[in-house]
Amino acid sequence: MIEDIINMIFNGTLNGAVLSLIALGYSLVYGVGGIMNLAHGAYFMLAGYLLLWGLPIFPDFLILSVIFAIVIVTIIGGLTYILLIKPLQDSHVGVVLVTFGLAFAIEQFVLIFYGTDSIAISDYVLFSGTTEVLGYSMANQFIFFIIMSIVIVSLFALFISKSKLGKSIRAVSQDREAAVLMGINANRVLLYTVMISAFLAALGASLYLPGAALSGPSMAWTYLTSSFAVIILGGMGSLVGSVVGGYAVGFITSFTSIFIPNGPSWAHVVPLIVIIIVLVIRPQGLFGKKEIK
């Protein structure tokens, strides 16, 4: 019993650590530019597969593969904005359609090379082995990841509140026209925002996936769906909400997995149930604004 509880706490935290990183970037782009980038889950997935591809190439300098994956995905994020999002910024339907197409394209591209099977990135684990707590074994790589996730989120919070770019980002998200009047290049800010969100996703993937496994390119959609549930719960456009929501959804999922009969199957449905319940009871989520637009 106590094992199960530790299991739940650990996996809940782990899920939360992943989800909060992914949802943070996703929510950032929405909050700043009103953009729903449906390719966001694909960024995460792509980083994982780039890592898988790059590792055998630089066997002695694993960090190179990581940098490679993160850089490529960040650039793709930037290109997404320049080539696809910005030209369509007047059409909500257009942005959604084109990023959906991009997500598909990335998924299919990876599918051609790697198929749908689960693959583990076993060569790159910074911390191998496990730690035991009260009878439950926790992978050290995951412990490392959880710590790193918290560090990254904290650094990001500092960045957003103290740095010049961070302040510009906040200005644009509050009132784009006013920011432009103050001399801020909103276009550039949006570009950086999308790139930062891609960067966060790729960073999260590089730290988390080596301990887990790549469960097929369709994992892009799984993470997108979960991120969506997270930002609905946390409140659309709220960065704090993404983090809190991420851990909340993470815990609900691990709880369901362990304590509910047929748990792992029901765990798949958790994001959807969260979405429905939040929409019915409190559409603005925990920290969001009243109108959903």
Chain contacts with other proteins (rule: CB under 8 A): 36, 38, 83-84, 87-88, 91-98, 100-102, 104-105, 108-109, 111-112, 218, 221-222, 224-225, 228-229, 232, 236, 262, 264-266, 268-269, 271-272, 275-276, 279-280, 283, 292-293
The distance of closest approach from Cβ of residue 148 to other proteins in the complex, given in angstroms and rounded to an integer, is 28
Q: Tell the smallest beta-carbon distance from residue 97 to other proteins (Å).
A: 5
* Residue 168: CB minimum distance to other proteins, A: 24
Distance set, CA 182 to CA 11, 86, 111, 179 (Å)? 45, 21, 46, 5
Nearest CB to other proteins, comparing residues 19 and 203: 19
**Structure tokens of 181?**
């009047």
Residue closer to other proteins by CB (options 66, 232) is: 232
Minimal distance, residue 264 CB to other proteins, in Å: 5
Look at residues 205, 219, 246, 228 and name the one whose alpha carbon lies nearest to residue 12. Answer: 246
**Which DSSP helix (H) or strand (E) runs through 130?**
strand 130-133
Q: Where are the alpha helices (DSSP H) in 131-215?
A: 140-162, 164-174, 176-181, 186-208
Angstrom distance (rounded) from CA 32 to CA 20: 18
Shortest distance in whole angstroms from residue 112 CB to other proteins: 5
Please identify, using beta-carbon distances, which residue of 164 and 290 lies nearer to other proteins.
Answer: 290
- Distance from first CA to last CA of the chain, Å, rounded? 45
- Residues 10, 45: Cα–Cα separation, whole Å: 23
Nearer to other proteins, 122 or 265 (CB): 265
Closer by beta carbon to other proteins, 158 or else 272: 272
What is the rounded CA–CA span in Å between residue 174 and residue 182?
Answer: 13
Q: Name the residue nearer to other proteins (CB basis): 1 or 280.
A: 280
What is the rounded CA–CA span in Å between residue 92 and residue 30?
12
CA distance 227 to 242: 8
Q: Least separation, in Å, of the C-beta of 226 and other proteins? A: 9
Structure tokens, 292: 């959903």
